[in-house]
A and B are shown apart, each in its own frame.
Chain A
Amino acid sequence: MSSLRFETFLARLYSDRDYRRRFLDSPEAMAASAGLDEQEQRAALEIDKPGLLMAARSYELKRAGRRSRRSLLRLPWRAV
Chain B
Amino acid sequence: MNDRVGLGWRGPLAASIYVHLDCIDVVEVLLDDYSQRELKSLRSLGREVPVIGHGVTLGLASVSPIATARAERLAKVVNTLEPEIWSEHLAFVRSGSHEIGHLAAPPRNRATVAGAVANMERVRKIVGTAPALENIATLIDPPNSVMSEPQWVAAIMEAAGARMLLDLHNLYANAVNFGHDPFEYLRAFPLERAQIVHISGGVWVEWESRRLLDDHLHDVPDIVYSMLAWLAEHCPQPLTVILERDGQYPQFSLLLRQMHKAREALAAGRAKGAREVHELAAV
* Shortest distance between the CB of B146 and any CB in chain A (Å): 8
Q: Which of B38, B110, B111, B209 contacts A51 (CB 8 A)?
A: B209
Q: When chains A and B are docked, how far (Å) is the Cα of A15 from the Cα of B102?
A: 10
Determine chain A's interface SS by DSSP, over half rule. helix
| B243 on the A face (CB < 8 A) | no
Q: A50–B209 contact, CB under 8 A? A: yes
Query: Count of A-B contacts with CB under 8 A?
Result: 145
Q: B104–A14 contact, CB under 8 A? A: yes
Chain A residues 34-80 with CB under 8 Å of chain B are: 39-40, 43-44, 46-55, 57-60, 62-63, 66, 69-80
| B86 on the A face (CB < 8 A) | no
Q: When chains A and B are docked, how far (Å) is the Cα of A1 from the Cα of B246?
A: 36
Q: When chains A and B are docked, how far (Å) is the Cα of A46 from the Cα of B140?
A: 12
Q: Which of B32, B98, B110, B140 contacts A15 (CB 8 A)?
A: B98
Given contacts A7-B92, A51-B139, A52-B140, 20 further A-B contacts (CB under 8 A): A1-B144, A6-B144, A7-B62, A7-B64, A11-B95, A12-B98, A14-B104, A43-B107, A47-B140, A47-B143, A50-B207, A54-B209, A55-B139, A62-B102, A72-B11, A72-B12, A72-B246, A73-B38, A75-B38, A78-B15
Q: When chains A and B are docked, how far (Å) is the Cα of A1 from the Cα of B113?
A: 11
Count of interface residues, chain B, beta-carbon cutoff 8 Å: 51
Please report B residues at the A interface, Cβ cutoff 8 Å. Answer: 10-12, 14-15, 18, 30, 32, 34, 37-38, 40-42, 44, 62-64, 92, 94-96, 98-102, 104, 106-107, 109-112, 138-144, 146, 177, 205, 207-209, 211, 213, 246-247
